[in-house]
Amino acid sequence: MSELEPVEYETGTAVRDYDIIEITQTAMGYEVLLDINLDSGYSLTGTKLEITHEDLQGYETNEVEEGIKYALGFFGHISQ
């Protein structure tokens, strides 16, 4: 089987919402198992996200759940 070449795209679809399945602490930070629902109608099941302690510092939080929000592009609260 040949290796696939990376494809460059200008933009993708937005994340609609996600469910945290499991958070495991690692030496470098956290490994998070997620189910992600995309605005396109597709979903990503059992997706692994790695967040380092350095990432959390960059997001100015110590809470891994907040780091996940920022990593997935949820930066603010929309009031309704």
Owner of token pair 């290796």: 3
| Other CB atoms within 10 Å distance of the CB of residue 49 | 17
For 13-79, strand residue ranges (E) read 15-25, 29-38, 43-52
9-63 confidence digits (pLDDT tens): 777 789 999 999 999 999 999 999 999 999 999 999 999 999 999 999 999 999 9
Residues 6+ apart with CB under 8 A from 6: none
**Closest residue by Cα to residue 51 from 36, 66, 39:** 66
Q: What's the pTM value of the predicted model, to 2 decimals?
A: 0.77
